[in-house]
Structure formats: structure tokens, C-alpha cells
């Protein structure tokens, strides 16, 4: 086995995904804490004293207590290199989540113990199914009142079609959480929280006799349920898991660091390592071929003092070496990698080499956009990451004409990062571009960042459109003459988009002009 294959085998690249408020950012920090990447959790829970978690670096994220943009964290555990990508949970930012899922080999899906399969959770399961990404499920917040564990397993199977196979099983009902039965080693583990949950929870392994003496009835019930799981065949099957037919399940509470270490162990033991990735011709790129990488995220001004732009690149094959000159597949032009970094929240460190599965941050990557391919040696290009169909459309204009240059620069930046889609037309001109988004909160991000990063206040006006379709040059003039329709050019890729007030209006136009070209964009995971 070559050194590249050996290094790839010890990589684990995964995303943490869930419905909003299920505890993704808290889990991200708990994982880093248990891997000794940090010494104390940064989330002090309680509105008055809450600090922003390690992966939530944007001011707006800290103010609202939600994750808006994905963040990459890199750390080691049990001789393995983890690349953990935290994602936005709010449905308005599901397009960013979709881009992240193009770069990972596995997903950890969090379920709230009291709420179970919430709408966004189910939709993200479907995205993972579509991309054939294996899913490990972690039932979070078991230290609070919640639903029965067996009931949650039934719901997972009924709504996702995945067969749940618990690796750990809770001792005690929600709100009365003593610990878990580790079904892999048939061992009871009792958890004791530390003050404020700021450090690792104390784990005590108990023999069945000790568990019975110390926990009593809750232990007996848990043991009976574990026996039932074994009787019905709810045991982990690695092939079924990797085929996206089953989902291993663990129980815990990220806030108190209960069960987090067991999740890390499961990532080492059963989560898939990087595998050859199909290119645009659907030919898998072997891991030991020369370097290739996929840009899945671009983010500017992560460090306000440097005002730079960083592109997150998933290494797909080969060895990355800082300073190597790569080829940008979209343009054929050379791309130098002098400034390459690993990222831990806002903290960065120079990275000299990386292997398949790693995430590399390339600084000042002004030419790169999400979905781009970089390669060394023989040419390769990976499938581009499609854009979602926008449903909300607002015009933006600069309040102060003297800031017009900063306004244009800021809009171009938001477009390049994929914060919003920017639509332009000759009728409206560059002074009032149309911003298109999956959800309205994306416009709040644009306003916040233009004000904070470009010192530019903008005014926005809602347009009465709710539907977008891709069209062509022959159909565009006909569509532009229709009532309730407007045609724009999407700045990032030059696609012509026809906007309609609603689906009824689009059907009416097609009825009157049946030869028009109107193609759907990628459906939004929000439904």
C-alpha cells in the first residue's frame, strides 16, 4: 500500500447535520473537546454568558446563536485525522449544507430526543440518500425529558427507510439518564457530568452486578430492551451501513459531553475512509493518482484584520504540497498554493501537505468558486455543485452613491461565496441587481456583511416573483414580453433565468407558447 493510500485510510471526513436547535454546534465543540483539540467547551449555556462556540465565528452567528455558514475543524483522535465540517441548520441556508455534503464521506445526524424526526432532519436524510452518504445517528439531549427510545427507532425506520441499529442504548428514560449500554463490548457505562459541562464527562464502566446494584430498575429495563434488539436483529451491519440501508444509532447529551467519546470511537471504527470520487465522465479517480481537489466553500473576511478570502478544498486524490502550482479546471489557468492552511474555527495554521479526505484552506483564492476543480498532472474535473432553485427575490441598491464601488465589490463577493445568487438585466442595470435566495434570512446576512465588511448600507425591495426556471436565448425575448415574467442573467454562470410570479402564471405562458424552453433548477431540500 502506498503512503497516500495509508494516509487516506486514517482520514475521517464528515459533516454534522440536523434540524435547527438540535445541538450541532454544541456537538461540534464536544467532539473537539473529547479529541483534546480544545481544553474547555466555549459554549457557556445561558443567555447572559454565552460565548460563541469554536465553529461559529461570524458576528451574526454569535448574536443569533445559530450557525449560518459552514466551518471546518481539523483534529486527531486515536491515530486518525478528522476533518469535521459543521453546517448551518436553518432551512434558509440549506444550499450551503448541500455544498458541504459534496465534500464529505459520512454524516452525523443529530435528533432531538423530544422531537425526533423533524422536517429539516428528514430532508437532510434524503440529501444524504441521494448522494449515497452513510449516516450515523446520534439521539441528543437524552438528559432532558423526551420520547421512548424504541419509539424513536420506529420513527427513524418509518420515515427514512433506514434500519436503525443501535451501537449504544440508554440506561434510563429521557431526563433520567444514567449512562449507556455499549452493545459492541456488552458493557454498561455510567456518566457523571462535570461543572457546567465544560470538560469531559466522567465515564465509569460497570459490571452487570454493579449496574444492578447502583442503577436498579432502569438497568433491568435497559438490559431487557437490549436483549429485544438482539432478538429482532437490530445489530450493526457494516455493508448495510455503507450501502445506506441502515444507520447506526447512539444516545447521549452533547451539552454535558455524555456519549460523545463513544461517537468518536464509532467514527474511527465504522465510518468510511475516503474512496475514489467519480469525475464528470463518471470515472472514479483513484486515490493514489496525482493531486485533485474540489472547492466546496469560499468564505471572505474570516479574519477581519486580514480581509482575505479563503477557499475550502476537499482533497480527492494524491498528495497536496504547499507551494505546488495546480491547474484550475474551469479556466485552464495555473493556480499557486503558497498560502495553504488548516482551519480550526477562526484559528489557522500553515499546512505543508494533505491527503485524500483532508480539507485545505487556500488563502486569497479570488479565482475560485464553489464547485471548481483543481488538479495536478493529467486533467480531471469533478461534477459541479448545482445551485438551488431560489424562491425569494429582492433588489438591492446602495444608500450612499459615494459607496457605489464598495457596493459592487461587496455584491460580487456575496455572489462568489454563494451567499446569494445575483441576477442582472439590461433594464435594471448594475446599480440595482436582483438578489435571489432560498430563504429570506440570506438577505439579512448580505445586509449585515455589507455593512460590517464594506461599510456600505443598502436598501432592499421585494419583487413579486416566487419561481425561477432556466431558459435559452431563443425563448428569452418571448418570455420578457409576458406579463408577470422577467428574464435575468445569473452572474456566476451566465445562465438565463426566467422569473414568474407563481406557478399558475408559468403554466399560462407555456400554454400560450408551448415551444418555450423552461428547465427546473435543483429542488430545495426544504420541500
Kindly report the CATH number assigned to the domain that includes residue 326.
Answer: 2.40.30.10
Indicate if 259 and 110 belong to the same structural domain.
yes
Q: Please spell the DSSP secondary structure of 347-396, one letter per residue.
A: EEEE-SEE-TT-EEEEET-TT--TT-EEESSS---PPP-PPB---EEEEE
Please tell me whether residues 63 and 200 are part of one structural domain: yes
- Taking only the tens place, the pLDDT of each residue in 394-429 is 999 999 999 999 999 999 989 888 889 999 998 887
Residue position matching grid coordinates 424562491:
391
Over residues 470-487, the mean pLDDT reads 96
Residues 348 and 409 placed together within one structural domain of the fold: no
pLDDT at 92: 65
* CATH code of the domain in which 241 resides: 3.40.50.300
Same domain, 74 and 124: yes
Angle, to 10 degrees, between the axis of helix 24-34 and the axis of helix 260-269? 80
Strand runs (DSSP E) across 409-501, as ranges? 421-424, 434-437, 458-462, 467-471, 485-490, 496-500
Please tell me whether 236 is known to bind a ligand: no
- Return the minimum-mean-pLDDT range out of 182-191, 264-273, 360-369, 515-524: 515-524
- pLDDT of amino acid 306: 55
> To the nearest whole number, what is the mean pLDDT of the chain?
87
Whether 56 and 199 share a structural domain:
yes
Domain range holding 258?
A: 3-269
Residues contacting residue 328 through CB under 8 Å, at least 6 positions apart: 334, 335, 367, 368, 372, 373, 374
User: Is 331 found in the same domain as 301?
Assistant: yes
What is the structure's pLDDT at 129? 85
Which positions ≥6 away from 313 have C-beta within 8 Å? 293, 294, 295, 296, 359, 360, 361, 362, 374
First to last CA, the chain: 45
Asked, for residue 383, whether it belongs to a domain, the answer is no
pTM here is 0.84
Residue 382 lies in a domain: no
What CATH number does the domain containing 505 carry? 3.30.70.3280
Check: CB of residue 323 under 8 Å from CB of residue 337: yes
86 is in an annotated binding site: yes
Same domain, 240 and 345: no
Does residue 168 sit in helix, strand or coil? strand
Q: Is 525 domain-assigned?
A: no
Q: Is residue 385 part of a domain?
A: no
Give the number of domains in the chain: 3
Identify the three-state secondary structure at position 146: coil
Whether residues 159 and 111 share a domain: the answer is: yes
- The stretch 259-288 carries a mean pLDDT of 96
Q: 23-81: per-residue pLDDT in tens?
A: 887 888 888 888 876 666 554 333 333 344 444 435 544 444 444 344 578 889 999 99
Please check whether residues 239 and 94 belong to one and the same domain: yes
Tell whether 300 and 409 lie within a shared domain. Answer: no
The per-residue pLDDT for 74 is: 84
Same domain, 132 and 67: yes
Q: Which residues contact 46 (CB under 8 A, 6 or more apart)?
A: none
Whether residue 89 is annotated as binding a ligand: the answer is yes
Beta bridge partners, 467, equal 500
Specify which residues 12 forms β-bridges with.
82
522 part of a folded domain? no
Between 262 and 341, residue with greater pLDDT: 262
The answer as to whether 520 is a domain residue is no
Cα–Cα distances (Å) from 246 to 132, 134, 135, 277, in that order, read 12, 8, 8, 22
Percent of the chain with pLDDT over 70: 88
- Was 334 annotated as part of a binding site? no
Residue 286 belongs to some domain of the structure: yes
Residue 364 lies in a domain: yes
User: 239: exposed, middle or buried (C-beta count within 10 Å: 0-12, 13-18, 19+)?
Assistant: exposed
* 87 annotated as ligand-binding: yes
Strands 333-336 and 325-328: antiparallel
Check whether residue 468 and residue 487 sit in a common domain. yes
Average pLDDT of the segment spanning 248-263: 95
Amino acid at each position: 500500500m502506498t503512503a497516500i493510500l495509508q494516509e487516506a485510510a486514517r482520514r475521517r471526513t464528515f459533516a454534522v447535520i440536523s434540524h435547527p436547535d438540535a445541538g450541532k454546534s454544541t456537538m461540534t465543540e464536544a467532539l473537539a473537546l473529547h479529541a483534546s483539540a480544545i481544553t474547555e467547551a466555549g459554549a457557556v449555556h445561558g443567555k447572559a454568558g454565552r460565548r460563541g462556540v469554536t465553529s461559529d465565528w461570524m458576528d451574526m452567528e454569535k448574536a443569533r446563536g445559530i450557525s449560518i455558514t459552514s466551518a471546518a475543524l481539523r483534529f486527531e483522535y486515536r491515530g486518525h485525522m478528522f476533518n469535521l465540517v459543521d453546517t448551518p441548520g436553518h432551512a434558509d441556508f440549506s444550499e450551503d449544507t448541500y455544498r458541504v455534503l459534496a465534500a464529505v464521506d459520512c454524516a452525523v445526524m443529530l435528533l432531538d430526543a423530544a422531537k425526533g424526526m423533524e422536517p429539516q432532519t428528514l430532508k437532510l436524510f434524503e440529501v444524504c440518500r441521494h448522494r449515497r452518504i452513510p449516516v450515523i445517528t446520534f439521539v441528543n439531549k437524552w438528559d432532558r425529558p423526551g420520547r421512548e427510545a424504541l419509539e424513536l427507532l420506529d420513527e427513524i425506520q418509518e420515515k427514512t427507510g433506514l434500519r436503525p441499529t443501535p451501537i449504544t442504548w440508554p440506561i434510563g428514560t429521557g431526563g433520567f439518564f444514567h449512562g449507556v449500554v455499549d452493545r459492541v463490548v456488552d458493557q454498561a457505562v455510567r456518566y457523571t457530568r462535570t461543572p457546567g459541562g465544560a470538560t469531559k464527562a466522567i465515564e465509569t464502566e460497570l459490571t452487570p452486578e454493579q449496574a444492578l446494584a447502583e442503577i436498579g430498575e432502569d438497568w433491568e429495563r435497559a438490559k431487557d430492551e437490549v436483549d429485544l434488539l438482539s432478538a429482532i436483529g437490530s445489530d450493526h451491519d457494516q455493508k448495510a451501513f455503507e450501502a445506506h440501508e441502515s444507520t447506526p444509532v447512539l444516545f447521549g447529551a452533547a451539552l454535558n459531553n455524555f456519549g460523545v467519546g463513544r461517537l468518536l470511537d464509532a467514527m474511527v471504527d465504522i465510518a468510511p475512509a475516503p474512496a475514489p470520487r467519480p469525475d464528470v465522465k463518471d470515472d472514479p479517480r483513484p486515490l493514489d493518482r496525482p493531486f485533485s481537489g474540489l472547492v466546496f466553500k469560499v468564505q471572505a473576511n474570516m479574519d477581519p484584520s486580514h480581509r482575505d478570502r479563503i477557499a475550502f478544498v476537499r482533497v480527492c486524490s494524491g498528495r497536496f504540497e504547499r507551494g505546488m502550482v495546480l491547474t484550475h479546471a474551469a479556466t485552464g489557468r495555473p493556480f499557486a498554493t503558497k498560502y495553504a492552511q488548516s482551519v480550526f474555527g477562526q484559528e489557522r495554521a500553515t499546512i505543508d501537505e494533505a491527503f485524500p479526505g483532508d480539507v485545505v484552506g487556500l488563502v486569497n483564492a479570488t479565482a475560485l468558486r464553489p464547485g471548481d476543480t483543481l488538479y495536478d498532472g493529467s486533467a480531471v474535473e469533478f461534477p459541479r455543485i448545482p445551485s438551488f432553485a431560489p424562491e425569494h427575490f429582492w433588489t438591492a441598491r446602495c444608500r450612499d452613491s459615494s459607496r457605489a464601488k464598495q457596493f459592487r465589490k461587496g455584491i460580487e463577493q456575496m455572489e462568489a461565496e454563494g451567499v446569494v445568487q445575483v441576477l442582472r438585466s439590461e433594464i435594471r442595470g448594475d446599480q440595482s441587481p436582483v438578489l435571489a435566495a432560498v430563504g429570506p434570512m440570506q438577505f439579512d446576512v448580505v445586509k449585515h456583511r455589507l455593512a460590517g465588511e464594506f461599510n456600505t448600507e443598502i436598501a432592499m425591495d421585494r419583487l413579486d416573483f416566487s419561481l425561477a426556471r432556466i431558459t435559452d436565448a431563443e425563448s428569452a425575448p418571448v418570455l420578457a414580453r409576458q406579463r408577470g415574467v422577467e428574464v435575468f442573467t445569473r452572474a456566476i454562470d451566465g445562465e438565463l433565468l426566467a422569473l414568474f410570479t407563481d406557478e399558475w402564471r408559468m403554466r399560462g405562458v407555456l400554454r400560450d407558447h408551448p415551444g418555450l424552453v423552461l428547465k427546473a433548477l435543483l429542488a430545495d431540500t426544504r420541500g
